[in-house]
Structure 1
Amino acid sequence: MDTIINPFKDQTHSIPLKKLLLLIIYAFLPIIIIFHLIVYPFPISFSQSKHSLNINTSSSTSSKEIGNDNVEISCDYSNGSWVYDKLGPLYTKCNTIKEGQDCMAHGRPDNNYLYYRWKPKNCELPRFDPKKFLQIFKNKNIAFVGDSLARNQLESLLCMLSTFSDDHELVFSHGDDNKFRKWYFHSYNMNVSIYWSPFLVDGIEKSDKKNYNTMFLDSIDEKWGMDLDQMDLVVLSVGHWFLHSAVYYYGDKVLGCHYCSGLNYTEVGFYDVYGKAFETTFKTIVERRGKNNVGVLDVVVTTFTPAHFEGEWDKYGACPKTKPYDVEERKNLEWMDAEMRERAIEQVRIADKEVAGQKRVRFEAVDVTKLAYLRPDGHPGPYMHPFPFAKGIEERVQNDCVHWCLPGAIDTWNEILLQVIKRMERTI
């Protein structure tokens, strides 16, 4: 403790007026300081770098210092609501949009669907940062693997990246409907590819000659599996093809089928099969990447996204909504959507647990099922074709209530993808 000195001690002679005033000021100085702090408290300043991610969650979180970033590495992006945001999309035009998803160019009359932004309940989802994404994946290869929704998400990503870097070009295209394509970003030496593989595992798609799919659940589809050693990030997105008629094999043995009237096989549904396809895929990835030294592979699963058909798919008004559902009105997912989501999430959890502690493969999920469920307004509907009502409204019209308009709600998938990747990078 500091020694307190009494200014009057041992002073028997008179005190000059000037010194007396000074002593009075000293005596009252603490009182003056306390009064000032009460009335005018000192301002508190928090400095953050421009890439700082400030996330608050309802659950306990842990944070980690990364350079100048103080990042909380836990955030539930799946729980929230859609809010109106006048800022709008990151892009409006893009030459990689598939024609069927270019809703504005096809004459969709309303545009409110462009101005809704996903707001997680207990944290923040930053707008997509194309520069940051390109920096992370400089000199790397990204692959989207799955069905047409994987392609939908890929095309969204390309459009978002092109707002910062337009020096990319299509360097490879093969197959009907451009099912296998690759783009190269020159400035970043980065490849982005799409692999058509609607089951992930080996399979034969239905045709005019055979109206059911055939899946071989014990082996992955080598059309993409053969390139595993070249990938740094693989985004898997499948689901809707599992709803069709199918026969399932494991080796040479038939396990059963789904919706296969006329065939002498046991009906087994598709939920367990969906989970098994992910299980086989993940095990194969771990086996192959665990035996080489080609670097870390990040595996991200985009969860099942619900369709929004109201009645028949080819009837006028099949998906007529023009705004999101209110989260309080639609608290629970439909049974099928919830089950498909859970099967994928469960397999990601199992795979992530099995590779814990090793650095060759990492598994994560971009859980978009609930936020997609709340966006019945986000599909092309009849505007999958240019100006479908130019000659008047007809009762029968093709509708797309599965895929997503670009720009639109699916851009949020990639906003979440970037945050998931940043968290994975920071928790190595």
Structure 2
Amino acid sequence: MGKPKNQTHIIRKLMPYVLYTLIPLALLHYYTYISPRCYIQIAHKRLKTTAASDSITPPVQGKAAELKNQPRCDYFDGHWVQTIAKPLYNGTSCGTIKWAQNCMINGRPDTGYLYWQWQPKDNRCPAPVFDASVFLGIIKNKHIAFIGDSLARNQLESLICLLSTASKPELVYQGGDDLKFRRWVFYEYNVTLSSLWSQYLVKGIDRNQSKGIDHNTLYFDTPNEKWASELDQIDIVVFHNGHWFVQKAIYYGEGNQLLGCNFPQESNCTELNFYDAFRKALRTSLKEVTKRFIKSDKAVVVATFTLAHFEGDWDKFGTCLRTEPYKEGDVEMQDLEKNMRKAAIEEVATAVKDVKEVAGGLRIGALDVTKLTFLRPDGHPGPYMFPNPFANGKEGVMNDCMHWCLPGPIDTWNAILLELMKRWKDE
């Protein structure tokens, strides 16, 4: 029996991710590799007494008054506007950018993609702007770990480059296949940033074609030990994954109970689609962090799903050559983006509720970047994942329409991350 039509469409749309895992010279090396507002000095004003009374009205706390009078900004809904502000770094200033996302150095001729700013829909809310000194001050003496797939690494490298404008980091560790695990230290602030590769977040065994195993095996009741074992040394976790769940996989739950698979027509097992698989993996990961840190002042952030912008078929050298963002209404977000985003938002909400029920201190939030990245088809490396890609002609040139140029739109993720952390500290 064949796949339902809508499932076939979704799987075909996600196939670029499979392509990156199968073609060695394409995106095989794209691997993966957070509180709050600095103190604003607000004087507490003593209210004047009236002639009719000697009593003194208690002062209004400056921070509370500030928050009460300001809108609670939604930084996740808005549009892109042109700006003349230059990027905070370039292709050579931070020495950390993975070569395949260094669009400047690889010869991308246009620069217009660098001059766009994300503007929240509520015009009372300012555009998020990254301030490296403020960010470092907030996370002083803390350890942030980006856990997930290659987009987690992409965001981490953006953050390191942004922070490098205020303080110099030192790479103190790198290991694992293709340097999937790396660590930097900003000694001036005693800040540590790490990348921990975990494409499924939970325990998993990758397929092994040489042994005739064409599917992955995932255990939803067990977090991946490679990041879970590091939690005691981590203060802020940023999860970002979702793209690898399209691959064939068999799923197990508690006590190694078989839950199903995502290729039932071939394996005669109960179908469990990749939306549900992603949701279960994220739920297990959030429960692990919550269980261990619920009474602490630590934090966990979940970045929502972002999709590729291939025009044309990915397997026929589809491209992403646009030089400007989409305007609202130009294109419609598909069910894939909506459902993967919804899963992350709902799992975060459940985790927040669990913390509140026991009056815990752990802070949990969603970094909802789905819409702002959906509107930026111009922000990918495209053919400039390699230096001078058209040196031998334009035929058969591979494009990367999933990851993001550095500098580029992904820097806005970290500007909004800073706003989220400011809010947490103020509240």
Match of 2:107 in 1: 107
Structural mapping, 1:156-195, within 5 Å = 156-166=158-168, 168-195=169-196
Q: TM-score, normalised by structure 1?
A: 0.80
What SS does the aligned partner of 2:158 have?
helix
Q: Distance in 1 between matches of 2:278 and 2:120?
A: 28
Higher relative contact order (CA 8 A, sep 6+): 2
Q: Distance in 2 between matches of 1:101 and 1:208?
A: 29
Shift of 1:257: 1.1
Q: Distance in 1 between matches of 2:359 and 2:72?
A: 21
Q: Distance in 1 between matches of 2:116 and 2:40?
A: 23
5+ residue gaps, structure 2, are 1-37, 42-59
Structural mapping, 1:22-421, within 5 Å = 65-66=62-63, 72=70, 74-93=72-91, 94-122=94-122, 123-166=125-168, 168-209=169-210, 210-250=213-253, 251-259=255-263, 262-290=266-294, 295-313=296-314, 315-330=316-331, 332-356=332-356, 358-394=359-395, 396-421=396-421
Shift of 1:206: 3.1
Shift of 1:127: 1.1
Q: Distance in 1 between matches of 2:39 and 2:426?
A: 17
> What is the letter of the counterpart of residue 193 of structure 1?
S
Q: TM-score, normalised by structure 2?
A: 0.81
CA distances 1:122-156 after superposition (whole Å, capped 9, x unpaired): 02233101001100111111110000000000000
What SS does the aligned partner of 1:377 have?
helix
Q: Which moved more, 1:335-344 or 1:202-211?
A: 202-211
Contact kept? 2:128, 2:412, Cα under 8 Å:
no
Contact kept? 1:125, 1:416, Cα under 8 Å:
no
Select the structure of larger CA radius of gyration.
Answer: 1
Contact kept? 1:145, 1:196, Cα under 8 Å:
yes
Identity, in percent, stands at 50
CA distances 1:171-224 after superposition (whole Å, capped 9, x unpaired): 111111211011011101111000000111111233433332221111110100
Contact kept? 1:82, 1:118, Cα under 8 Å:
yes
> What is the letter of the counterpart of residue 80 of structure 1?
G
Distance 1:197 1:185, change over 3 A: same
Larger fraction in helix: 2
Match of 1:18 in 2: none
Distance 1:64 1:255, change over 3 A: farther
Q: Distance in 2 between matches of 1:73 and 1:245?
A: 45
Q: Distance in 1 between matches of 2:279 and 2:39?
A: 40
Contact kept? 1:315, 1:397, Cα under 8 Å:
no
Distance 1:50 1:118, change over 3 A: farther
What SS does the aligned partner of 2:184 have?
strand
5+ residue gaps, structure 1, are 1-48, 53-62
CA distances 1:302-328 after superposition (whole Å, capped 9, x unpaired): 100111112232544521211110113
Q: Distance in 2 between matches of 1:50 and 1:190?
A: 18
Q: Distance in 1 between matches of 2:117 and 2:199?
A: 29
Contact kept? 2:117, 2:127, Cα under 8 Å:
no
Distance 1:220 1:73, change over 3 A: farther
